[in-house]
Amino acid sequence: SQQGEEDPQALSIQEGENATMNCSYKTSINNLQWYRQNSGRGLVHLILIRSNEREKHSGRLRVTLDTSKKSSSLLITASRAADTASYFCATDAGGYQKVTFGTGTKLQVIP
Protein backbone atom coordinates (compact mmCIF):
# COMPACT_ATOMS: atom_id res chain seq x y z
CA SER A 1 0.00 0.00 0.00
CA GLN A 2 1.19 3.50 -0.75
CA GLN A 3 -0.87 4.99 2.02
CA GLY A 4 1.00 7.23 4.40
CA GLU A 5 1.18 6.63 8.08
CA GLU A 6 0.22 9.19 10.66
CA ASP A 7 0.90 9.24 14.31
CA PRO A 8 -0.46 9.41 16.78
CA GLN A 9 -3.70 7.74 15.71
CA ALA A 10 -5.51 9.68 18.40
CA LEU A 11 -4.59 12.63 20.57
CA SER A 12 -6.42 14.25 23.44
CA ILE A 13 -5.23 17.57 24.84
CA GLN A 14 -6.48 20.46 26.93
CA GLU A 15 -7.58 23.67 25.30
CA GLY A 16 -4.65 26.04 24.96
CA GLU A 17 -2.06 23.31 24.54
CA ASN A 18 -0.22 22.63 21.30
CA ALA A 19 -0.99 19.58 19.17
CA THR A 20 1.57 17.92 16.93
CA MET A 21 0.77 15.30 14.33
CA ASN A 22 3.27 13.48 12.16
CA CYS A 23 2.98 11.99 8.72
CA SER A 24 5.36 9.65 6.92
CA TYR A 25 5.06 8.68 3.28
CA LYS A 26 6.77 6.38 0.83
CA THR A 27 7.09 7.93 -2.62
CA SER A 28 8.43 11.13 -4.16
CA ILE A 29 6.02 14.01 -4.04
CA ASN A 30 5.21 17.29 -5.74
CA ASN A 31 3.52 18.62 -2.63
CA LEU A 32 2.00 17.50 0.65
CA GLN A 33 -1.26 18.75 2.03
CA TRP A 34 -3.00 18.66 5.35
CA TYR A 35 -6.77 18.39 5.65
CA ARG A 36 -9.25 18.52 8.48
CA GLN A 37 -12.43 16.50 8.61
CA ASN A 38 -15.17 17.05 11.12
CA SER A 39 -17.22 13.97 11.89
CA GLY A 40 -19.45 13.02 8.98
CA ARG A 41 -18.34 15.92 6.82
CA GLY A 42 -16.12 16.50 3.83
CA LEU A 43 -12.52 17.56 3.93
CA VAL A 44 -11.32 21.07 4.53
CA HIS A 45 -7.98 21.97 3.01
CA LEU A 46 -5.67 23.49 5.61
CA ILE A 47 -2.29 24.00 4.08
CA LEU A 48 -0.14 22.90 1.17
CA ILE A 49 3.63 22.64 1.30
CA ARG A 50 5.64 22.07 -1.84
CA SER A 51 8.51 19.64 -2.07
CA ASN A 52 11.06 22.47 -2.22
CA GLU A 53 9.72 24.09 0.96
CA ARG A 54 10.71 23.12 4.48
CA GLU A 55 8.28 25.05 6.62
CA LYS A 56 5.04 26.90 6.17
CA HIS A 57 2.76 28.84 8.47
CA SER A 58 -0.92 29.68 8.32
CA GLY A 59 -2.43 31.30 11.37
CA ARG A 60 -2.05 28.85 14.25
CA LEU A 61 -0.84 26.12 11.92
CA ARG A 62 2.77 25.30 11.25
CA VAL A 63 3.77 22.58 8.81
CA THR A 64 7.24 21.19 8.26
CA LEU A 65 8.44 18.92 5.50
CA ASP A 66 11.56 16.78 5.42
CA THR A 67 11.77 15.14 2.01
CA SER A 68 14.94 13.26 2.94
CA LYS A 69 13.03 11.48 5.70
CA LYS A 70 9.76 11.49 3.76
CA SER A 71 7.96 13.00 6.71
CA SER A 72 5.89 16.01 7.62
CA SER A 73 4.46 17.42 10.80
CA LEU A 74 1.48 19.62 11.57
CA LEU A 75 1.57 21.77 14.67
CA ILE A 76 -1.56 23.47 15.94
CA THR A 77 -0.70 26.07 18.55
CA ALA A 78 -3.01 27.31 21.31
CA SER A 79 -5.60 24.68 20.47
CA ARG A 80 -9.30 25.35 20.78
CA ALA A 81 -12.25 23.03 21.30
CA ALA A 82 -13.30 23.81 17.71
CA ASP A 83 -10.06 22.18 16.50
CA THR A 84 -11.51 18.80 17.50
CA ALA A 85 -11.53 16.81 14.26
CA SER A 86 -9.61 14.22 12.30
CA TYR A 87 -6.53 15.44 10.46
CA PHE A 88 -5.15 13.81 7.35
CA CYS A 89 -1.99 14.34 5.40
CA ALA A 90 -2.12 13.74 1.67
CA THR A 91 0.77 13.33 -0.70
CA ASP A 92 0.42 14.55 -4.25
CA ALA A 93 2.72 13.60 -7.09
CA GLY A 94 1.03 16.20 -9.29
CA GLY A 95 -0.56 16.12 -12.72
CA TYR A 96 -2.93 13.24 -13.19
CA GLN A 97 -1.37 11.34 -10.31
CA LYS A 98 -3.63 10.43 -7.46
CA VAL A 99 -3.46 11.99 -4.04
CA THR A 100 -2.77 9.43 -1.34
CA PHE A 101 -4.13 10.01 2.12
CA GLY A 102 -2.55 9.08 5.39
CA THR A 103 -4.32 7.08 8.04
CA GLY A 104 -5.33 10.17 9.98
CA THR A 105 -5.01 11.52 13.50
CA LYS A 106 -8.12 12.04 15.58
CA LEU A 107 -7.65 15.12 17.73
CA GLN A 108 -9.80 15.90 20.71
CA VAL A 109 -9.39 19.26 22.41
CA ILE A 110 -10.98 19.33 25.83
CA PRO A 111 -12.42 22.69 26.91
- Let me know: does 105 contact 6? Beta carbons within 8 Å: yes
Is residue 104 involved in binding other proteins (CB under 8 A)?
yes
Least separation in angstroms between CB 6 and other proteins: 9
Q: What phi, psi does 81 have (nearest 5°)?
A: -55, -35
Q: Which of 81, 105, 86, 110 is nearest to 4 (CA)?
A: 105
Binding mask 2-21 for other proteins (x = CB under 8 A): -x------------------
Amino acid at 23: C
What does the binding site for other proteins look like in residue numbers (CB under 8 A)? 3, 30-31, 33, 35, 40-45, 48, 50, 88, 92, 94-96, 98-104, 106
